[in-house]
Structure 1
Amino acid sequence: MAEIVLKNINKRWGTFIGVKDFDLTIADREFLVLLGPSGCGKTTTMRMIAGLEDPTEGDILIDGKRVNDMEPKDRDIAMVFQSYGLYPNMNVYENIRFPLKVRKVPEAEHKERVMRASAMVELDEFLHRKPAALSGGQRQRVALARAIVREPNVFLMDEPLSNLDAKLRVSTRAQIKNLSHELKVTMIYVTHDQIEAMTLADRVVVMEKGIVQQVGTPTEIYDNPANTFVASFIGNPAMNLIEGEIRDGVFSAPNITVSRLSAADGKVTLGFRAEDAAMTDGDGEVSAPVYSMELLGDATMVTVRSGSSLMAIKAGKEYRSEIGAQVKASVPASICHLFDTASGARL
């Protein structure tokens, strides 16, 4: 059992605010992802949970026990970092075994626990190798196994995939997802990669400048972003965001007019997802010249311009057009999101 409660956590260095008013309960066995750009406070939050940073204000509770003054080694937490942190003079077996030696676990248990952790991340054939003879993906798996062997209540992972190439990132991501299912422990995972967040998380915390912007399941955050920051950060491509004006339920901006919107007259930002819109041969809410065409294999991404903004629209893989050609797209009111232009908040 490892429920983690963060109560009104603040972290400041002088006048600089790293994390502000962070309140959250992380359920036992939940996979929580802290997501945001560099410098948003996600790693600082994780380091406070681990005990590597002290909160300026607020309480951190693990299983109902306040741990603010508890040493990191006493919090029953294992961390996996972006840098693998392996001992170059030890082989894989000894690297995985090291936490057991430090914690004075009876030696009779070592082999069984190391082999179990190694099997979970498919390292059995590399146990005799030194880290220098391993690929980046294999080294990251050694770091994972070294955390697993401790059998902690909580796993903290700080951008563990960012040093891997794209293909390895996909396979290691699947491995981490499977591990969370197998180990049945609480996992907190830090990343700036929204695809990792969407594929791994039970819940996502989106952060910017030390402030929580939205907390929810990947589906909730994708379908109902709380503001333009979340809308622009989640999704590949990000949600189209067009500044314009509403008059009598009709939104107008260069090259786009959408009717039947229920919002007060005035300036608004209209958002829609590329996959929700559709290219059309007939009438459409968008009429604009093609800015670029990208063939994605399973689809074609058509980009057109609205004033200074670009709009991406996903078409079928067989769709073809020329740059500069006038095209039309359907953007019905039912797929649109409206945001306050000044504050960015969802209307």
Structure 2
Amino acid sequence: MAEIQLRNVGKRWGDYVGVDNFDLTIADREFLVLLGPSGCGKTTTMRMIAGLEDATEGEIVIDGKVVNDLEPKERDVAMVFQSYALYPNKNVYENIRFPLKVRKVDPATHDARVRRASAMVELDDFLHRRPAELSGGQRQRVALARAIVREPNVFLMDEPLSNLDAKLRVSTRAQIKNLSHELAVTTIYVTHDQVEAMTLADRVVIMKQGVVQQVGTPVDIYDRPANAFVAGFIGNPAMNLIEGVVSGGTFRAERTEVAGLSAPQGAVTLGFRAEDAQVVDTGGQINAPIYTMELLGDSTMVSVRINGALVSVKADKTFRGRIGDPVSIAVPAAQCHLFSAISGERIHA
């Protein structure tokens, strides 16, 4: 197994900074998710670990060994790509077996290893088929089995679910979660989908424009986002963010007044989660007309507009209203987060 250290790793192309001063230790058998919007540097970071990109600065250490100058095949990592990269002329069995042939593994062990890997991803009934005869979810499982069969020290997964439909994403995500537990191999997983990150990860690294914004468990990041960017990126829906001013412990913005806050005076961004507020008859901290409603089954998402931003709250599933109806929203001060209006950093009361 392998611990991975990224020691002040950076990647630059001329003046463009792809990854800046990435410094992190990934524990043996940890499932780490790199999360962020397109272009934030998460895939570049993974490719540097794999050896597909050269680090401009810093050291990459796998299992105590600096690997910056090693070829990808010498790093004992297996990578699952967004595109399945299967051989169309080979059946599933041979696609899974291929890494063993390339690495000149004892042929006498091939069949047992291929069948063990295929069983883990429930492909035993499809070993004779070619990729063109498989669904997207089945092809992705072949790609997973091909990585598993190598028994590597490190798994690298680059947005492996992005080509699947919503239902398949849920089932395959569950399969990856179970596999990570069963295989107990250090795994680095890249995604822009925060639901994947929150459900799969032991720890999440959130990136923006090549810079790490926060590292923590999913609960840590959800409950105490380090800055307004993280707050607005994590959660479904994301945290509500309202720009306003604090004076005398009270936050004020358009149609909004939240008292009882412990914060310095001045311009701030107030945040709260949709599930931490509620629709009330009267006396709420936000009073505005309904902008839109969404029936979610277990609840009703009610949204209003404050300072041009959409602010959402989860109401009871029995809530009934129409667009334009006035609504009062209770926002408990204890559930509020405050961020600097200038830097976006969290204000620690």
Tell me which residue corresponds to 1:69. 69
Summarize deviations over 1:272-301 as a string: whole Å, max 9, x none.
000000111131111111000100111100
Q: How does 1:48-63 map to 2 (within 5 A)?
A: 48-63=48-63
Tell me which residue corresponds to 1:115. 115
Unaligned runs of 5+ in 1: none
Tell me which residue corresponds to 2:311. 311
Give me the whole-angstrom Cα distance separating, in 2, the residues matched to 1:29 and 1:316. 41
Unaligned runs of 5+ in 2: none
Task: Report if the CA contact (8 A) 1:255-1:305 is conserved.
Answer: no
Q: How does 1:101-112 map to 2 (within 5 A)?
A: 101-112=101-112
Does 2:289 match 1:269? no
Q: CA deviation at 1:323?
A: 0.7
Q: CA deviation at 1:306?
A: 1.1
Tell me which residue corresponds to 1:42. 42
Q: How does 1:187-226 map to 2 (within 5 A)?
A: 187-226=187-226
Amino acid at match of 1:164: L
Summarize deviations over 1:147-200 as a string: whole Å, max 9, x none.
000000100000000000000000000000000000010000000000000000
Does 2:325 match 1:332? no
Give me the whole-angstrom Cα distance separating, in 2, the residues matched to 1:337 and 1:237. 16
Task: Report if the CA contact (8 A) 2:276-2:332 is conserved.
Answer: no
Give me the whole-angstrom Cα distance separating, in 1, the residues matched to 2:322 and 2:54. 57
Tell me which residue corresponds to 2:344. 344
Task: Report if the CA contact (8 A) 1:155-1:187 is conserved.
Answer: yes
Give me the whole-angstrom Cα distance separating, in 2, the residues matched to 1:35 and 1:228. 15
Tell me which residue corresponds to 2:183. 183
Q: How does 1:18-167 map to 2 (within 5 A)?
A: 18-167=18-167
Secondary structure at the aligned position of 2:345 is classed as coil
Give me the whole-angstrom Cα distance separating, in 2, the residues matched to 1:181 and 1:242. 40
Give me the whole-angstrom Cα distance separating, in 1, the residues matched to 2:325 and 2:307. 17
Report the RMSD for the aligned CA atoms in angstroms: 0.5
Secondary structure at the aligned position of 1:52 is classed as coil
Tell me which residue corresponds to 2:289. 289
Amino acid at match of 2:345: A
Tell me which residue corresponds to 2:237. 237
Q: CA deviation at 1:307?
A: 2.2
Task: Report if the CA contact (8 A) 2:243-2:307 is conserved.
Answer: no
Secondary structure at the aligned position of 1:161 is classed as coil
Q: CA deviation at 1:331?
A: 0.1
Summarize deviations over 1:6-37 as a string: whole Å, max 9, x none.
00001000000000010000000000000000
Give me the whole-angstrom Cα distance separating, in 2, the residues matched to 1:180 and 1:71. 26
Task: Report if the CA contact (8 A) 2:80-2:157 is conserved.
Answer: yes
Q: CA deviation at 1:305?
A: 1.4
Summarize deviations over 1:228-286 as a string: whole Å, max 9, x none.
11001000111000000011000000111000101111110000000000111131111
Give me the whole-angstrom Cα distance separating, in 2, the residues matched to 1:318 and 1:199. 29
Give me the whole-angstrom Cα distance separating, in 1, the residues matched to 2:72 and 2:33. 21
> Please, what TM-score do these two structures have when normalized by structure 2?
0.99
Give me the whole-angstrom Cα distance separating, in 2, the residues matched to 1:106 and 1:191. 35
Give me the whole-angstrom Cα distance separating, in 2, the residues matched to 1:270 and 1:8. 33
Tell me which residue corresponds to 1:247. 247
- How many residue pairs get aligned? The number is 347
Amino acid at match of 1:325: D
Secondary structure at the aligned position of 2:279 is classed as strand
Task: Report if the CA contact (8 A) 2:137-2:164 is conserved.
Answer: yes
Give me the whole-angstrom Cα distance separating, in 2, the residues matched to 1:157 and 1:336. 35
> Please, what TM-score do these two structures have when normalized by structure 1?
0.99
Give me the whole-angstrom Cα distance separating, in 2, the residues matched to 1:67 and 1:46. 14
Q: CA deviation at 1:145?
A: 0.2
Give me the whole-angstrom Cα distance separating, in 2, the residues matched to 1:129 and 1:153. 29
Secondary structure at the aligned position of 1:243 is classed as strand
Amino acid at match of 1:92: V
Secondary structure at the aligned position of 1:189 is classed as strand
Secondary structure at the aligned position of 2:343 is classed as coil
